[in-house]
Amino acid sequence: MSHTVQHTPWSERVRMPTPKRELDRRWAAVRTAMASEGIEVLIVHNHVDNLGGYVKYLGDIASSGGYPLTFVFPLEDAMTMVAHGPHGRARDVSPTADPLFYGIKQIVGTWSFASASYTAQYDPEAIAKAVKPYAPARIGILGMAQFPHLWMTYLQEALPKAEFVDASYLVDPIKAVKSEDEQRAIRATIEMQKAAFEAGLDAIEPGRREWEVIAAIAAATRDRGSVGGVLMIGSAPPGHPGMIDMPRHHNRVLQAGDQMTLLVEPSSVDGYFAEIGRTIVIGSANDALLEEHEFALAAYQRTVNHLRPGASSSAIFSDYNAFMEEHGRPPEQRLHAHGQGYDIVERPLIRSDEPMLIEQGMFLAVHPFYVHGGAALLLCDYVLIGSDGASAPLHGVEQKVFEV
């Protein structure tokens, strides 16, 4: 007896596919930039959770779990996707019939794993085959920082007449400025995070462990469709800084009087990131902490006041550090503020080495975070850059030390 397997249409499986009009807009902008630089095809690669923005931006499919995901994006043709699947199987699909595969003409499966280095040639073999019709050509790479060295070596040998260039300088400025569709989606992320932050506050009490607070936040985000991101917490007795940390270090038991920092940075169902962070006290905050928070608020506002179209990212960073040192606080030696979208950290980066200027339509997370006087101060908020500068904090959560 034979049985016919009935598959549920992808159109019923995909939660919140990116609107076709939005993908069409992105593709048109990127292809215009490609043509201006003589780039005939892009190889778009990601494999890192929370930093898979390029493949999501152009293919509306996010990388996950360390599995390689690559799109071949030609100047004048639909895409080929190379991803984990039946090895060597090339399946032709319609670029228009199904929202999951919109813009994709072929899917090629490989059985490669980063944990098994001998499989490293399988993906570049498939990529080279998809790129070959356009070679010799000028080929742009997106996701160069995640692109495996063995892949690049293979492609250079397989396509000796091709010229390979880092195409991020073309795509990053386009990706950083958000359309109306993207802005609506990001605002939905913000509403989800606000509810998650409030769930965290409700879960904080003496006797609970830090991870239990994070579990309550994670449940609130999952209930609202979150598909990933970062949740961090840190607590300490009065006079000691409560430094946010990663999940394995969330085992401390909360006590009355603790000073805490909490960072809520999950993505929404359609993959957009934002973030919010605050300093929290179990009980009453002392005067010294409240006074220091007022300075942190001034430092935050100092940065926000400079976030205007045309402003230099490096100059903003330099001004912030000069302000901190002038007032006897430690200068920032980490990432002070940054864009977000499909990447948890996206350009522009507000620090000394960023050449990108601030533009209208960018969303930025601004997060002064420093230790002074035995306390860790965290004030993280999210703003939209308008024609006359940065918006008010979009989460609408009061910028204060929360006492719970």
Please name the CATH architecture into which domain 180-403 falls: Alpha-Beta Complex (3.90)
In the chain, % of residues over pLDDT 90: 89
**The three-state (H, E, C) secondary structure of 267-303, written as one string:** ECCCCCECCEEEEEECCCCCHHHHHHHHHHHHHHHHH
Please, are residues 300 and 332 in contact by the beta-carbon 8 Å criterion?
A: no
Please report, as a single letter, which amino acid is at residue 142: L
Task: Name the token pair of 254.
Answer: 């909360």
**CB 171 within 8 Å of CB 77:** no
Q: What is the pLDDT of residues 206-238, one digit of tens each?
A: 999 999 999 999 999 999 989 889 999 999 999
pLDDT of residue 258: 97
Taking the C-alpha atoms of residue 238 and residue 375, their distance in angstroms, rounded to an integer, is 8
- pLDDT tens per residue, range 38-69: 999 999 999 999 999 999 999 999 888 899 99
For the chain, where do the domains classified as CATH 3.40.350.10 start and end?
A: 10-176
- Helices marked H in 103-256: 122-131, 149-158, 168-176, 180-203, 210-223
Calpha distance 354→97 (Å, rounded): 41
Q: Which residue has the higher pLDDT, 4 or 89?
A: 89
b or e along 7-40 (b: 16 or more beta carbons within 10 Å of the residue's beta carbon)?
A: eeeeeeebeebbeeebbebbeebbbebbeeeebb
Q: Out of 1.10.3720.10, 3.40.350.10, 3.90.1150.10, 3.40.50.720, select the CATH number for domain 10-176.
A: 3.40.350.10
Mean pLDDT for the stretch of residues 66-89: 95
Check whether 159 has a pLDDT greater than 70: yes
What pLDDT, on the 0 to 100 scale, is given for residue 38? 97
Half-sphere exposure of 378 (CA within 13 A, CB side): 26
Instruction: Round the average pLDDT of the chain to a whole number and report it.
Output: 94
Model confidence at 1, in pLDDT bands (50, 70, 90)? Answer: very low
Span(s) in the chain for CATH 3.90.230.10: 180-403
Which pLDDT score, from 0 to 100, does residue 16 have?
A: 82
> Torsion angle of alpha carbons 139, 145, 148, 151, nearest 10°?
10
What pLDDT score does 9 carry? 57
Whether the predicted pLDDT of 3 surpasses 50: no
Segment 282-300, tens digit of pLDDT: 999 999 999 999 999 999 9
Q: How confident is the model at residue 8 (pLDDT cuts 50, 70, 90)?
A: low
Residue 183: per-residue pLDDT: 97
Q: Is the confidence at residue 17, as pLDDT, over 90?
A: no
pTM check: above 0.85: yes
Which pLDDT value is given to residue 7?
53
Query: Is the per-residue pLDDT at 131 higher than 50?
Result: yes
**Per-residue pLDDT tens for 241-286?**
999 998 999 999 999 999 999 999 999 988 999 999 999 999 999 9
Q: Using 50, 70 and 90 to split pLDDT, how confident is the model at 2?
A: very low
